[in-house]
C-alpha cells in the first residue's frame, strides 16, 4: 500500500477489504456446513438403546474346593462337631510319632514327605510340611479334655504328581472322643456325610491299615459315574474310595495323655478335591489349581 500513489490507495484498500470479508464469509459458511453435516449424521444414525443394561463388573465367587469345604464343614456343624485348624509346618512328632508310626515304618513311604529346616530352638526335632490333617487330632487331644467332636480342613503336602495327585491338596480330618464310642457311631456319621454330600447311595466299609486306628477301614461309596454298574472310574468294581477311617488306637490316646481304658473314639480323613471332582464332574485334578477363568467361571 505504501508504494502506491496516494490517490490510488483508497480504492486499493477497499478492494483488499472486500476480498478479506469474502474469504472470511466463505470460511464461516464452510464451518457451519460441516457442523450441520455432522449433526445431521448424528441425528439420522440408528439410535442406541439407552435402556440396555450396562456391563456389570466381573464378580468373584468361591473356588470349587472352597464350595465343597464349606459344604462338608456345614454337615459336621449340623452333627455337633466344632471346627479347628492346625499348622501346615509341623513337627514330625505330631505328624507321625504321636500317631503311632514307628520310626522308619514303611507306612510313611506313602507320604513321601517334604522336610523343612529344624527350628533354631529345637535343633533335634524334625520339621516337615504336614502330610495329612491328622496332626490336628494330636494337637486337639493334647489341649482339651474329652468329650470332643472336631473337624478340620486344610492343605497337606506329599511329593506326588500325576492326573490324580498334586504336591499340595486339601484334607478333612474328623474325630470324636467320648466314653463308649463304637464302630456303629463311625458308620452312622460317615454314612450321613456321604448321603448329604452325594445323595442316597451305597456305602461300603472295607478293612484297611493306618497306624493310628484299630480297627481301620477304607470307606467306599457306590460309583457316581455308573451308579454301581462298573466303569473305568471305579475300575469295574461299582465303588469309589472316598475316606480312611477307624477307631482311634490306644497308643494315640496314650501319646496324647488320655487314658485308653476310659476314652474311646473314631477318626476319619478324606480329601476335599476328590469329592469336589466327583460332585461337579471335573475330569482332571490339575484344573483345580491352574486358575483358568474358563474353568472357574463355570461354578
Ligand atoms: N490320615 C490318613 C491319610 O492321610 C487318613 C485317615 C485319617 C485315616 C483318620 C484314618 C483315620 O491317609
Ligand 1 centroid distance, CA of 134 (Å): 7
Give, using CA atoms, the residue closest to atom 6 of ligand 1: 269
Higher per-residue pLDDT: 79 or 228: 79
284 pLDDT band (50/70/90 cuts)?
A: confident
pLDDT computed for residue 65 by the predictor: 94
What integer pLDDT is reported at residue 187 of this predicted model? Answer: 97
Q: What is the pTM of this model?
A: 0.79
Res. 99: pLDDT tops 80? yes
Q: What is the pLDDT at residue 177? A: 98
99 touches ligand 1 (CB under 6 Å): no
- Pocket flag, ligand 1, residue 174 (CB < 6 Å): no
Q: What is the mean pLDDT of the chain?
A: 93
- pLDDT at residue 60, as a whole number: 87
Q: Are 172 and 105 in contact (CB under 8 A)?
A: no
What's the gap in Å between 1 CA and the centre of ligand 1?
108
Residue nearest atom 9 in ligand 1 by C-alpha distance: 268
Dump pLDDT digits (tens) for 149-168. Answer: 999 999 999 988 777 788 99
Instruction: Average the pLDDT over 245-274 and give the result.
Output: 97
What local confidence, expressed as pLDDT, does residue 157 receive? 96
Q: pLDDT by residue (tens digit) across 54-72?
A: 888 888 899 999 999 999 9
Which DSSP helix (H) or strand (E) runs through 241?
A: strand 239-248
Over range 230-259, report the average pLDDT: 95
Q: What is the CATH class of 64-86+132-296? A: alpha beta
> Atom 10 (ligand 1): residue with closest C-alpha?
245
Predicted local confidence at residue 50, as pLDDT: 84
167-181 confidence digits (pLDDT tens): 999 999 999 999 999
Q: Which of 207, 187, 170 is nearest to 266 (CA)?
A: 187
CB-based contacts of 288, cutoff 8 Å, min separation 6:
63, 64, 65, 166, 273, 276, 277, 282
Domain regions of the chain by residue span: 64-86+132-296
- Binning the chain into helix, strand and coil, the percentages to the nearest 5 are 40, 25, 40
pLDDT beyond 90 at 31: yes
Would the CB of 249 count as within 6 Å of ligand 1? no
Best CA proximity match to 222, nearest among 193, 204, 202: 202
Amino acid at each position: 500500500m505504501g508504494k502506491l500513489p496516494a490517490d490510488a490507495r483508497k480504492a486499493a484498500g477497499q478492494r483488499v477489504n472486500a476480498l478479506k470479508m469474502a474469504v472470511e464469509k466463505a470460511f464461516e459458511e464452510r464451518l457451519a456446513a460441516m457442523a450441520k453435516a455432522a449433526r445431521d449424521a448424528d441425528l439420522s444414525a440408528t439410535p442406541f438403546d439407552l435402556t440396555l443394561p450396562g456391563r456389570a463388573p466381573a464378580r468373584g465367587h468361591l473356588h470349587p474346593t472352597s464350595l465343597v469345604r464349606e459344604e462338608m464343614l456345614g454337615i459336621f456343624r449340623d452333627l455337633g462337631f466344632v471346627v479347628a485348624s492346625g499348622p501346615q509346618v509341623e513337627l514330625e512328632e505330631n505328624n507321625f510319632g504321636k500317631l503311632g508310626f514307628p520310626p522308619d515304618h514303611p507306612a510313611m513311604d506313602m507320604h513321601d514327605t517334604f522336610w523343612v529346616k529344624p527350628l533354631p530352638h529345637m535343633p533335634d526335632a524334625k520339621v516337615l510340611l504336614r502330610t495329612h490333617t491328622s496332626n490336628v487330632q494330636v494337637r486337639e487331644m493334647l489341649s482339651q479334655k474329652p468329650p470332643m467332636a472336631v473337624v478340620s480342613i486344610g492343605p497337606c503336602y506329599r511329593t506326588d504328581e500325576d492326573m490324580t495327585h498334586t504336591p499340595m491338596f486339601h484334607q478333612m480330618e474328623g474325630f470324636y472322643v467320648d466314653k463308649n464310642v463304637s464302630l456303629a457311631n463311625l458308620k452312622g456319621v460317615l454314612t450321613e456325610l456321604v448321603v448329604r454330600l452325594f445323595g442316597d447311595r451305597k456305602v461300603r466299609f472295607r478293612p484297611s491299615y493306618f497306624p493310628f486306628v484299630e480297627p481301620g477301614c477304607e470307606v467306599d461309596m457306590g460309583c457316581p459315574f455308573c451308579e454301581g454298574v462298573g466303569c473305568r472310574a471305579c475300575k469295574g468294581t461299582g465303588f469309589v474310595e472316598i475316606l480312611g477311617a477307624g477307631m482311634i488306637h490306644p497308643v494315640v490316646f496314650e501319646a496324647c495323655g488320655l487314658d485308653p481304658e476310659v476314652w474311646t473314639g473314631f477318626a476319619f480323613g478324606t480329601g476335599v478335591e476328590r469329592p469336589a471332582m466327583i460332585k461337579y464332574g471335573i475330569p482332571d485334578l490339575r484344573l483345580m489349581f491352574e486358575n483358568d477363568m474358563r474353568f472357574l467361571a463355570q461354578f
